[in-house]
Amino acid sequence: KAGVTQTPRYLIKTRGQQVTLSCSPISGHRSVSWYQQTPGQGLQFLFEYFSETQRNKGNFPGRFSGRQFSNSRSEMNVSTLELGDSALYLCASSLGDRGHKDEQFFGPGTRLTVL
Amino acid sequence: KQEVTQIPAALSVPEGENLVLNCSFTDSAIYNLQWFRQDPGKGLTSLLLIQSSQREQTSGRLNASLDKSSGRSTLYIAASQPGDSATYLCAVKETSGSRLTFGEGTQLTVNP
């Protein structure tokens, strides 16, 4: 069974640009969550999508947005990039049934560098 | 607001030693707790998941325990190997949703 895949693996952008990251969950998983990881803040939750609907949202500005398609693949978009957006962006997939057994599986991440 | 703390922040041990990593959380209303491993620059690998009703889970040389009432979990690694060197993260899933709240991690180095 294929794991969670993320593309691209690396990105370099300049301030003010926008970027779109993609995540393909494990087959059969309907929930996709996004996290930002930085040395200073650790892992922080961005948002979760389940069946094409945003189900949960973290404390990030509106420049961070996402969507999910009918095949459960998800994209995350960051507009008007700032230097502080440089981070490893991780997505996680799960069945999303909110149960006690709902295990999260992470992709390899996209390393975004903003110059 | 849930807060997760991991102690120690870093640990260096000789090969073969048994070791314990600690995780504490402030709100006991959790669905489950997961332990992950992260190698430098890589994604997270799930090691163990403990449901809120469970006391412990075992996988190979790893054993994780959960004491929900006291807000604590431990990850026990038996007979450590250099390949165990990585950052270990614990995360709790709260009943209010599917988000995970992570600790800062313990950076483990196992010396040959």
Q: Span A96-115, mean pLDDT?
A: 88
How far from each other are the two terminal CA atoms of chain B, in whole angstroms? 41
Using CA atoms, how far apart are residues A19 and A64, in angstroms rounded to an integer?
10
Could you tell me the pLDDT band of residue B93, with boundaries at 50, 70 and 90? very high
CA separation (Å) from A61 to A47, A53, A76, A106, B97? 11, 19, 13, 23, 20
Query: What pLDDT does residue B98 have?
Result: 73
* Adjacent-strand bridge partners of B13: B110
Question: What is the nearest CA distance from B79 to chain A, expressed in angstroms?
Answer: 26
Across A9-33, average pLDDT: 96
HSE toward the beta carbon, residue B65, CA cutoff 13 A: 10
Q: Name every chain A residue with its beta carbon within 8 A of the beta carbon of B100.
A: 33, 35, 43, 45, 92, 104
Neighbour count for residue B9 (Cβ, 10 Å): 12
**Residue A19, Cα to own-chain centre: how many angstroms?**
12
Residues from chain A contacting residue B43 (CB–CB below 8 Å): 4, 6, 90, 106-109
Q: Counting Cβ atoms within 10 Å, is residue B34 exposed (0-12), middle (13-18) or buried (19+)?
A: buried
Please name the member of A100, A104, A105 whose beta carbon is closest to the beta carbon of B51. A100
Tens of pLDDT, residue by residue over B25-83, are 999 989 899 999 999 988 999 999 999 999 999 999 999 999 999 999 999 999 999 99
What is the average pLDDT value for chain B, to the nearest integer? 94
End-to-end CA distance of chain A: 37
Q: How many CB contacts within 8 angstroms connect chain A with chain B?
A: 72
Backbone angles phi, psi at A74, to 5 degrees: -130, 150
> What is the C-alpha separation between A31 and B2, in angstroms, rounded?
22
Work out whether strand B44-51 and strand A64-68 pair parallel, antiparallel, or are unpaired.
unpaired
Contact B99 A33 (CB under 8 A): yes
Cross-chain Cβ contact A48/B97 below 8 Å: yes
Contact list, B106 vs chain A (CB under 8 Å): none
The full length of chain B comes to: 112
